[in-house]
Structure 1
Amino acid sequence: MTLIVAVDPGVRGAIAFMHGESLKVDDMPIRQAMRTGKVKNEIDPVALQKLIRARVPADETALVVMEDLNTFAGGSVQTMGSLEATKAVIRTVMELNRLDVAFISPRAWQATYGIKKTAASNTKEQSLKIARELYGRDYCPLAKHDGRADAILIARYAARNLV
């Protein structure tokens, strides 16, 4: 049985660890940093490394699956740069832990669950609803836990489709 590490990247993201029926979910570790005269949140690579090592012992392997968010036209240069930096930090920490990273598009895993933006509901709300239906409210008790919901659903997708 393969340990799945599913990553919803971003400062509001999360990491789900799925091993068979066992599931653990952690919010993405962040820290405050001064950027252009303002305090901004960013991924904390040291805390992320400690979290990964605590959840994936050094003598074990895992399949790491990270949502491949694309920088897209229309977004600000700052937003696109921040997203790319976030992905680079996460990937680097995983590789330093000798864990390869596979990327999956949001469209691929969301289609499995029938998640699609509508006038009545965005994809984050739908992910939250489905994760709660499958695993209860304990992992995602609040609306702000949509990153946890995405990570859980990515892990479930990977367990059923990538191993």
Structure 2
Amino acid sequence: MSIIIGIDPGLKGGIAVLESDSKKIIRLDDMPVSPDGKKQKVNGYGLLKIFGGFTRDTVEMVYLERVGARPGQGVVSMFSFGRSYGAVEATVSLLGLPLTYVTPQSWKRRAGLVGAEKDASRGKVLDLYPDADVARKKDNGRADAVLIARYGESA
């Protein structure tokens, strides 16, 4: 079985694992986090537990959303986001999994969500996968991860 992984790398992001042939969702997780003082950080061990069972032989591709600084975003929040992004990149790299970056504009265009509200990704995923675990408002990161993986299916 060959799989495709989609990752929304933020602290409120998600990780979606799809079977490439059937497009079935195999696994859907929130980004694993742990406390870091008054804030949170991506939990590297949690990432390893999610990705640990996958190998280069079973993973067709990992699609990671490529995001950067936005105007007006604070230095502290950008540093925090960079740590999260780096943790994901490092875990994928250390496991030897193939990695491709995809911009938000690209996967949103393919999903038909350019200019749509943030919550539209959950609706789109529920249209495609009625049983997907994205019913809560806070599941936007999971939904984005599914659509990032689906971008890779047809890339």
TM-score of the aligned structures, taking structure 1 as reference length = 0.86
Residue matched to 1:6: 6
CA distance in 2, matches of 1:104, 1:144: 22
Residue matched to 1:51: 50
List per-residue Cα deviations over 1:14-38 (Å, max 9, x = no partner). 100011223121111110012xxxx
Residue matched to 2:93: 95
Residue matched to 1:65: 63
| Identical pairs, percent | 28
CA distance in 2, matches of 1:40, 1:48: 18
CA distance in 2, matches of 1:100, 1:10: 20
Residue matched to 1:77: 75
Aligned length: 152
Gaps of 5+ in 2: none
CA distance in 2, matches of 1:32, 1:58: 31
Ranked by relative contact order (alpha carbons within 8 Å, sequence separation 6 or more), the top structure is 2
TM-score of the aligned structures, taking structure 2 as reference length = 0.90
Question: Following TM superposition, where does structure 1 have runs of at least 4 consecutive aligned residues deviating by more than 6 angstroms?
Answer: none
Q: How does 1:128-147 map to 2 (within 5 A)?
A: 128-147=122-141
Gaps of 5+ in 1: none
Residue matched to 1:30: 33
Report the 3-state secondary structure (helix = DSSP H, G, I; strand = E; otherwise coil) of the residue aligned with 2:36: strand
Q: Please report how far the alpha carbon of residue 138 of structure 1 lies from its aligned counterpart in structure 2 after TM superposition.
A: 3.2
List per-residue Cα deviations over 1:29-71 (Å, max 9, x = no partner). 110012xxxx1111000111111013x1475333111001111
Indicate how the Cα distance of structure 1 residues 58 and 158 shifts in structure 2: closer, same or farther if over 3 A, else same: closer
Which entry has the higher C-alpha Rg, 1 or 2? 1
Amino acid at match of 2:74: S
